[in-house]
């Protein structure tokens, strides 16, 4: 690329920005010229219009197009109705993908939230609490691909002799035979889940630890005076007091789990019964070239998110109503 090409591109960019600014100024001028009664509404519409347009172009249109593509054949040339959805619930490999996804969204949010809560309670008020939080939060600073490579080395299998993988070398030290962990169906799914749990526990700990700081000490002291045991205080006082924070953590981890791609791609490539929806969607559309099935997986992924979003919106509205 020569200097003239760069100059032309920067010139086009500058013209586009100036045109966008001119449109905004024109719309704002129209709003200013409006009557005082309608001015606030028009000004709001002027500033919301660009955001709405970008939302429509970048989100609504692609979503509608994806739904439409799910009713067509792989190359988009033939309308096939619900055939792709029938494939998704009858094909053994597709069914395995759905089952794997169901296991991920049940196990990972539950275990991550539970471990984060327990760890937050154990370190709450202890000397060195900040250090403990930093240690458990460190995996959050690692990309999913980087974490996958770390754990892939741990699970690494070598037929015989000295093992590269830590887990298999420990087995060899104890006189057992090494195991090809990532090729062992069902078990390999849970081993992949460990990677995401390892990452998300730090997030859960930090959020829940902050929520614990907001629990009134008077309530806990009153429970102790009434003779409540530590377990009873935890279940009947602490957990109800931070219920909203627990829900936020669980929902956030749920959505992160549902759109999981990196860990599966980096560690197994979706082979040996480890495929999940987000990875299969990419696999169908980009590797196998079947846009219809890829779009179908995307729609199923979207449908799984909707109930969680609705629940979270209702939960937030209920909290706002209670706060009033």
DSSP string, 172-239: HHTTPPP--GGGSTTHHHHHHHHHHHHHHHHHHHHHHHHHHHTS-HHHHHHHHHTT--HHHHIIIIIH
pLDDT tens-place string over residues 105-130: 999 999 999 999 999 999 888 888 88
pLDDT tens track for 179-190: 899 998 889 999
Do 171 and 35 share a domain, yes or no?
no
Q: How confident is the model at residue 320 (pLDDT cuts 50, 70, 90)?
A: confident
Query: How many domains does one find in the chain?
Result: 2
Tokens of 256: 């992160």
Give domain status of residue 143, yes or no. yes
In a domain, 84, yes or no: no
* Residue 77 counted as domain residue: no
Neighbour-count burial for 95-132, b at 16+ CB within 10 Å, e otherwise: ebbbebbeebbebbbebbbebbbebbbebeeeeeeeeb
Looking at the fold, whether 99 and 20 belong to one and the same domain comes out as: no
Q: Is the pLDDT of residue 11 over 80?
A: no
Does residue 254 share a domain with residue 167?
Answer: yes
Residues 264 and 156 grouped into a single domain:
yes
Same domain, 136 and 228: yes
User: Domain ends where: 54, 69, 84?
Assistant: 69
Domain containing 157 equals 93-323
Query: Is residue 195 in some structural domain?
Result: yes
pLDDT of residue 72: 92
Whether residue 308 is predicted with pLDDT greater than 80 in this model: the reply is: yes
What integer pLDDT is reported at residue 32 of this predicted model? 65
pLDDT value of residue 175: 82
CATH code, 222: 1.10.3720.10
Q: How far are the Cα atoms of 68, 110, 130, 174, 264 from residue 193, in angstroms, in the given order?
A: 33, 12, 27, 25, 10
72 strand-pairing partners: 79
pLDDT above 80 for 245: yes
276 and 208 Cβ atoms separated by less than 8 Å: no
pLDDT at position 6, please? 66
- Residues 268, 232 share a domain: yes
Burial of 297 (0-12, 13-18, 19+ CB in 10 A): buried
pLDDT at 95: 93
**Alpha carbon distance 291, 301 (integer Å):** 15
Q: Is residue 175 domain-shared with residue 305, that is, in the same domain?
A: yes
The number of angstroms, rounded, from the C-alpha of 30 to the middle of its chain's C-alpha atoms is 42
Q: Would you say residue 80 lies in a domain? A: no
> With 60 as the cut, is the pLDDT of residue 1 above it?
no
Residue 309 confidence (pLDDT) above 90: no
Residue 165 lies in a domain: yes
Higher pLDDT: 217 or 200? It is 200
Q: What span, in angstroms and rounded, lies between the C-alpha atoms of 246 and 169?
A: 38
pLDDT given at position 231:
85
pLDDT classification of 171: cutoffs 50, 70, 90? confident
One-character DSSP codes across 21-62: HHHHHHHHHHHHHS-HHHHHHHHHHHHHHHHHHHHIIIIIHH
Q: Are residues 164 and 115 in the same domain?
A: yes
Would the pTM of this model clear 0.85, i.e. be above it? no
SS3 302: helix
- Residue 64 and residue 122 share a domain: no
Q: Are 294 and 247 within one domain? A: yes
| Strand partners of residue 79 | 72
Residue 85 lies in a domain: no
75 occurs within a structural domain: no
Which residues, other chains included, contact 262 with Cβ-Cβ below 8 Å and sequence gap of 6+?
143, 144, 145, 148
pLDDT per residue as tens digits for the range 17-69: 888 778 777 766 766 666 555 666 766 777 787 788 888 888 889 889 999 99
What's the rounded Cα separation, in Å, for the pair 300 and 30? 44
Average pLDDT over all residues of the chain: 86
- CA atoms of 313 and 323, how far apart (whole Å): 15
* pLDDT at 178 exceeding the cut of 70: yes
pLDDT at 50: 77
Are both 63 and 211 inside the same structural domain? no
């Amino acid at each position: 690329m020569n200097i003239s090409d760069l100059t032309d591109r920067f010139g086009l960019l500058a013209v586009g920005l100036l045109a966008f600014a001119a449109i905004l100024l024109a719309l704002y001028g129209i709003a200013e010229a409006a009557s005082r009664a309608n001015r606030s509404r028009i000004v709001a519409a002027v500033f919301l219009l660009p955001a709405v347009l970008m939302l429509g172009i970048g989100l609504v249109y692609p979503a509608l197009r994806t739904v439409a593509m799910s009713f067509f054949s792989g190359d988009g040339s033939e309308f096939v109705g619900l055939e792709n959805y029938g494939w998704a619930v009858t094909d053994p490999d597709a069914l395995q993908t759905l089952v794997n996804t169901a296991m991920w969204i049940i196990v990972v949010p539950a275990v991550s939230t539970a471990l984060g809560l327990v760890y937050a309670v154990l370190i709450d008020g202890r000397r060195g609490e900040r250090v403990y939080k930093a240690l458990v939060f460190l995996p959050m600073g690692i990309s999913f691909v980087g974490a996958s490579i770390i754990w892939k080395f741990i699970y690494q299998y070598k037929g015989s002799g000295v093992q590269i993988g830590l887990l298999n070398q420990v087995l060899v030290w104890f006189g057992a035979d090494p195991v090809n962990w990532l090729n062992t169906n069902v078990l390999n799914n849970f081993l992949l889940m460990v990677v995401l749990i390892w990452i998300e526990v730090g997030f859960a700990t930090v959020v829940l630890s902050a929520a614990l700081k907001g629990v009134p000490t008077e309530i806990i002291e009153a429970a102790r005076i009434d003779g409540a045991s530590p377990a009873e205080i935890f279940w009947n006082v602490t957990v109800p007091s931070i219920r909203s924070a627990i829900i936020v953590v669980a929902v956030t981890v749920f959505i992160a789990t549902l759109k999981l791609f990196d860990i599966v791609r980096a560690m197994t490539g979706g082979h040996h019964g480890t495929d999940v929806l987000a990875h299969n969607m990419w696999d169908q559309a980009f590797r196998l070239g079947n846009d219809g099935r890829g779009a179908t997986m995307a729609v199923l992924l979207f449908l799984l998110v909707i109930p969680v979003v609705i629940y979270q919106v209702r939960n937030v509205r209920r909290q706002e109503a209670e706060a009033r």
